[in-house]
Structure 1
Amino acid sequence: MTSATGLVLTSPRSFEQRSFDLPDIGASDGLLRIEACGLCGTDHEQYTGHITNPQACIPGHEVIGVVEELGNHAAGRWGVNAGQRVAVEVFLSCRECGQCQAGVYRRCERNGLRTMIGFTDADTPPGLGGGYASHLYLGPDSMLMPVPDELDPVTATLFNPLGAGIRWAVEIPETQPGDVVAILGPGVRGLCAAAAVKDAGASFVMITGLGTRDAERLALAPAFGADLAVDVSETDPNRALREAIGRKADVVVDVTAKAPAAFAQAVQLARPGGTIVLAGTRGSPETPGFEPDHIVYKELRIIGALGVDVGAYRKALDLLVSGRYPFEDLPRQVAGFDDLEPLIQLLAGERSGVPPVHGVFAPDPAQS
């Protein structure tokens, strides 16, 4: 094969399928044959233009694939071999600057947001910088994680949202055994966060959703560690938590997107001295029901979370292999090049119907 195929987002709501020349691979880079790429809320926000991109790009960043070509220096740098199935870290790391040396490579001085997988310029060769493609170019600063043989490529894409659940709901708020945790948003990241905190020893986990769109997800929540699932269109979550256990939450994790009222709920749900982690975009400058004084009265700790890290991803892969939660059975839809856009429209709420809990792109859905 001398060419690759990619689905390029040229402007909001405009995809173009293109052919790309496969790059020559040197000592420090590599080439990945993509098997599957999970769909994230970021993807459909790119599609609608809610997240702007200054250039055409191939979206998709929850990438699983097989290393097809690999330079000798890259093999040592990444710790993988040609022919090995790997997960791809979204951020790149030079491994040399102060930020990378300190372990916060999301702020790498050579990379950062501008070189993230799924956002780079499709018109600058080799152009293969995102997951909606048959191949992904692996530059020298790439970061790869071996995928255990027990995981199929589609299930393995959950390394990304489950890694987010581990970092956002356990590591950042320093969730302790016995804690009460409230998770706002029952999408795939919310369910992953529930499993992560339950696995970390949380004594009680509540998860919230809204209306018909979230009904199936709330019904699934107990299988992923939730002790209480609440539809906030019918029930006040603060009252529901109080009636269930008689106290407020030690940790509240808000993974909702475009739900500005959720932050006010988070402040209400947190106990005095509790922690709130904001890991979803508000989608609005308005915050209905929010009373800032409660942050002062309760002395709350509020932390924003962007991205994950390799350590959390590795823990996620281990948890997926353990089989303690039925991630392989999540209701999902796998789409190829020809039917990916309708699935993204469904996830974005621009097409009628209830979206699947887990959406995945695969260059060849029949083999996924």
Structure 2
Amino acid sequence: MNAAAMVLAAPRTLEPRELPLPQIGADDALLRVEACGLCGTDHEQYSGQLHPGHAFIPGHEAVGVIEQIGPVAAERWGVSEGQRVAVEVFRSCRECDACRAGTYRRCVRNGLTTMYGFVSVDTDPGLWGGYATHQYLAPDSMVLPVPEGLDPVVATLFNPLGAGIRWGATVPGTGPGDAVAVLGCGVRGLSAAVAAKEAGADFVMVTGAGERDRPRLAAAPDFGADLVVDVTEDDPIAAFRAATGRPGADVIVDVTAKAPQVVAQAVQLAAAGGRIVIAGTRGGGGAPGFEPDHVVYKELRIEGALGVDVVAYRAALDVLASGRYPFADLDRVTVGLDGVEDLLRTMAGEGGTPPIHGVVTPGR
């Protein structure tokens, strides 16, 4: 029996292929993929900005059902055959210093090199991403049980919501009384707003830019935003100060992509003693307008954040299952494998307004 998959053979070259299903041993498993979320990384892989230089099956936000699992893997992961799980993008040896400390994104055996959705299709068994009917789960995999009743398409938000929780609450230590500015209103920006409110923030501002972001800004109040600002029309710093009466934000979460000037804006917007989390990537080009002296005079803390951890993922699944926020009602486009290329182009801004949430359902 074979699995159907979409292989990114080269930038802008997605090819349908069939790959044989692997034999499962004691320490690994096979996932039947029900849904896989798409994010900015996906269309950057497709366009070539993040292409790893080899053919691979993309997709790193997979949710599905364990079709086969070995006894050692079942005991280690705490899951069983027939159970719905979410698959973490990073893998962990569970033995090195980084893994034992909980920072398994820096695992000496894995790290960035074995991330799901990036591994070469020529590395046996090839099924290393979510754009396929099946995904191989290697012994170092990290999986999370999905709560009963949570739709698998909605459950794919475990990844961006987990990111929002880590970036918007855990890393900056957001708490009661804080005023928070989330720069960027994609699904991770909306998730960071949720995380800030859940952590007790008094006030949350979310920013966006232009026509592409208008649907996202319109949705933001349902996800915890007290103020939304289109930066092509209004000065976010002036708007924040007018709305709060404060000189600056206690916490700033920058999830913008390819917007190097926003780093300078974050520094200007921060209150004395403020915490800035930079999670969006710039794509090079430095940070125009950045004034390092402001970091000194304000005694700012600036921290980069890469990826998520299991604590945030579990919290994300709990929030999704609770129904406290309308994640199920997000502007969403769901496609089969044959429609993923068109969806990637739309999400890359190559025609039409991109949805807030894009999902591929390989069995469709």
Shorter-chain TM band? over 0.9
Residues 198-221 of structure 1 show CA distances to partners (whole Å, capped at 9, x for unaligned) of 011100000000010000100110
TM-score w.r.t. the length of structure 1 is 0.97
Is the Cα–Cα contact under 8 Å of residues 251 and 274 in structure 2 kept in the other structure?
yes
Distance 2:101 2:13 in 1: 39
Unaligned runs of 5+ in 2: none
Q: CA deviation at 1:137?
A: 0.2
Distance 1:284 1:121 in 2: 26
Alignment partner, residue 309 of structure 1: 309
State yes or no: 1:229 paired with 2:233. Answer: no
Distance 2:231 2:223 in 1: 19
Aligned residue for 2:338, secondary structure, equals coil
Alignment partner, residue 283 of structure 1: 283
Which amino acid is 1:27 matched to?
A
Q: CA deviation at 1:241?
A: 0.4
Distance 1:305 1:150 in 2: 31
Alignment partner, residue 274 of structure 1: 274
Q: CA deviation at 1:289?
A: 2.4
Residues 25-77 of structure 1 show CA distances to partners (whole Å, capped at 9, x for unaligned) of 00001100000000011111111111130311111100100000000111001
Q: CA deviation at 1:283?
A: 1.6
Aligned residue for 1:28, secondary structure, equals coil
Alignment partner, residue 9 of structure 1: 8
Aligned pair count reads: 363
Distance 2:357 2:28 in 1: 31
279-288 or 29-38, which deviates more: 279-288
Aligned residue for 1:339, secondary structure, equals helix
Aligned residue for 1:338, secondary structure, equals helix
CA RMSD of aligned residues (A): 0.8
Is the Cα–Cα contact under 8 Å of residues 33 and 363 in structure 2 kept in the other structure?
no
Residues 149-205 of structure 1 show CA distances to partners (whole Å, capped at 9, x for unaligned) of 121000000000000000011000011111100000000000011011101110000
Distance 1:39 1:23 in 2: 25
Alignment partner, residue 298 of structure 2: 298
Residues 79-132 of structure 1 show CA distances to partners (whole Å, capped at 9, x for unaligned) of 000000000011000111111111111111111100000010101220000011
Q: CA deviation at 1:288?
A: 2.6
State yes or no: 1:58 paired with 2:62. Answer: no
Is the Cα–Cα contact under 8 Å of residues 180 and 204 in structure 2 kept in the other structure?
yes
Alignment partner, residue 80 of structure 2: 81
264-273 or 82-91, which deviates more: 264-273
Alignment partner, residue 345 of structure 1: 345
Which amino acid is 2:167 matched to?
W
Q: CA deviation at 1:234?
A: 0.4
Which amino acid is 1:268 matched to?
Q
Distance 2:245 2:290 in 1: 23
Residues 219-241 of structure 1 show CA distances to partners (whole Å, capped at 9, x for unaligned) of 11000000000000000000000
Aligned residue for 2:112, secondary structure, equals helix
Distance 1:26 1:288 in 2: 53
Alignment partner, residue 23 of structure 1: 22
State yes or no: 1:134 paired with 2:133. Answer: yes
User: Which residues of 2 match residues 1-368 of structure 1 at below 5 A?
Assistant: 2-247=1-246, 248-349=248-349, 351-365=350-364
Distance 1:211 1:4 in 2: 41
Aligned residue for 2:27, secondary structure, equals coil
Q: CA deviation at 1:272?
A: 0.9
Aligned residue for 2:42, secondary structure, equals helix
Q: CA deviation at 1:278?
A: 0.3
Q: CA deviation at 1:302?
A: 0.4
Unaligned runs of 5+ in 1: none
